[in-house]
Structure 1
Amino acid sequence: MTFYSIGDVAERCGINPVTLRAWQRRYGLLKPQRSEGGHRQFDEDDILRIQEIKRWIESGVPVGKVKALLDKGKIPVAGDWVALQEEMMSTLRQVSPARLRTRLALLGREHPVDALIDHVYQPVRERLSLDLNTARVMLSLLDGALIEQAVLHLGEVRRKAGKDALLIGWGIDDRTSLWLEAWRLSHTGWRVDVLAEPLEELHPEFFPGQQIIVWTGKPLSSDQAQRLEHWRRQGYAVAIHAPALSA
């Protein structure tokens, strides 16, 4: 029988090792074997279970409810992300920063940040941006709380071992999305610093020796792609972060 380390499984399944440990310790979803040295060892059955857990969570089921569904042998169906969006809207209508922080913390414990950004936070932000009147107040409240949550998490991750990177927005207007993507990156092993002001012109020579990750929010233009290739030929470490695109 072939066994895999937690790092191998994390890379194969696209899940942070910290998340896998939480699924085991906090929620009892996994029971890996241990090597003689005490390290976790996963087999193919474990990997299949991890993939099933991932499907449940991506469908909108809180992680705390997944074990019961797995034990019953149920099949994942499309989750009701709309319901979570409506709950977020209801919280925002109360215009209470404290209640909003509590709501965000609860969602963060129940769902992976990738899913929350793509299926709750960004859809709600887009919905609020269409209203030029009172919804703008709620959007501002939500953006502030999301940036606060992102900054807190970035600080926690920075105290741990990991890869350092500077995230720069290139030709974007939505600063909150930049912080959300920093939050997303921090769950993949990066210790992220953020250049808070997006740039129209990127100058990698200003950051010698640093790993630069660029967020554009859309596919690269032909000019941007040419510049990126030019910088790479010059030896600058510049990567594109595009989770919703083809990275």
Structure 2
Amino acid sequence: MSLYSIGEVARICGINPVTLRAWQRRYGLLKPQRTEGGHRLFDDNDLETIRTIIGWINRGVQVSQVKALLEGNEAPVANGWVQIEQKLLLVLQEDKTQKVRQLILELGREYPAENLINHVVRPLRTRLSANISTSYLLGVLDGILIEHAVMSMAAARKKPGVKVLLAGWGEIDRTELWLEAIVLSHQGKHIDLLPEPLADPHFENVKAERILLWAEGRMTRAHYSKYLNWQQVGLPVELLGSAAMLLQSAADEESAAHSAEEGDPHDKYLT
């Protein structure tokens, strides 16, 4: 049976080594072997266990409940993400920012960053932004999330990784840039983040292996034309955010139409 280092397991399973250590130390979910020097070694059975754990977490099960599930001693709880979101909200309402920082740090160790951001942080921000009475809490949360993003980016740069430029385009929710930076950093990317959105980006002289551009809502025809030009000249520009999802929907419609009479499906997603 093959043996893998924690770094190899992280690459194979797409999960941060910090999270693997937390699953082992705090929850006893993993029992890797050790080299004479004390380094962890995982086998194929461990990889299967890790994939099972990820599957439970993707379904909204809290990591604290996973061990019982693996042992067959407990039924799954489907609303785990909602419970974590509520826990974070309650700590925010105590107005003790250090407790919020500590909780986000702990959650960041225990859960894959993408799951935590998409299933807890983004829903909570939407919830807080819906009411003017909670705008202060949203501001506190955003400040702490930006701090967390800076720490995540700094930690990622200590190891080899792909250099990525992350920027916003036009009117956007700026905190979304920092949330995306957290996710990318936990994937091992080296992020250079431009905190101010760009009105008219020019990337011809940018030295980055990938350029990720966060845009929201319907793109203008001028923006879409500019984006197509980047693609045509081979610039490594990728769209993120709702603008990217709208364009993908248009591309899917175009593929399904199979007819020039249908026109350009992108039109309905442009202004």
TM-score class normalised by the smaller sequence:
0.7 to 0.9
TM-score using structure 1 length: 0.79
Structure 2 partner of 1:67 = 67
Bigger drift between 18-27 and 66-75 goes to 18-27
Q: How many residues are treated as equivalent by the alignment? A: 244
SS at match of 2:195: strand
C-alpha deviation, 1:86, in angstroms: 2.1
Q: CA RMSD in A?
A: 3.5
Q: For the residues of structure 2 that align with 1:80 and 1:10, how far apart are their CA atoms?
A: 24
C-alpha deviation, 1:74, in angstroms: 4.8
Q: Check conservation: 1:167, 1:213, Cα contact below 8 A.
A: yes
Structure 1 residues without counterparts, runs of 5 or longer: none
Q: For the residues of structure 2 that align with 1:176 and 1:151, how far apart are their CA atoms?
A: 12
Structure 1 partner of 2:151 = 152
Q: Check conservation: 1:55, 1:76, Cα contact below 8 A.
A: no
1:215 aligns with 2:214: yes
Check 1:8–1:87 CA distance in 2 against 1; reply closer, same or farther (3 A cut): closer
Q: Which amino acid in structure 1 is aligned with residue 95 of structure 2?
A: V
Q: For the residues of structure 1 that align with 2:101 and 2:148, how far apart are their CA atoms?
A: 8
TM-score using structure 2 length: 0.73
1:112 aligns with 2:144: no
**1:11-90 equivalences in 2 (<5 Å):** 13-16=13-16, 19-20=19-20, 23=23, 27-30=27-30, 40=41, 42-43=43-44, 45-72=45-72, 74=74, 76-90=76-90
Q: For the residues of structure 1 that align with 2:47 and 2:176, how far apart are their CA atoms?
A: 32
Check 1:53–1:128 CA distance in 2 against 1; reply closer, same or farther (3 A cut): same
C-alpha deviation, 1:137, in angstroms: 0.9
Q: Which amino acid in structure 1 is aligned with residue 193 of structure 2?
A: V
Check 1:13–1:123 CA distance in 2 against 1; reply closer, same or farther (3 A cut): same
Structure 2 residues without counterparts, runs of 5 or longer: 249-271
Q: Check conservation: 2:91, 2:100, Cα contact below 8 A.
A: yes
Bigger drift between 224-233 and 4-13 goes to 4-13
Structure 2 partner of 1:201 = 200
Check 1:89–1:2 CA distance in 2 against 1; reply closer, same or farther (3 A cut): closer
Q: For the residues of structure 1 that align with 2:92 and 2:122, how far apart are their CA atoms?
A: 14
Identical-pair percentage: 44
Q: For the residues of structure 1 that align with 2:131 and 2:67, how far apart are their CA atoms?
A: 40
Structure 1 partner of 2:128 = 128
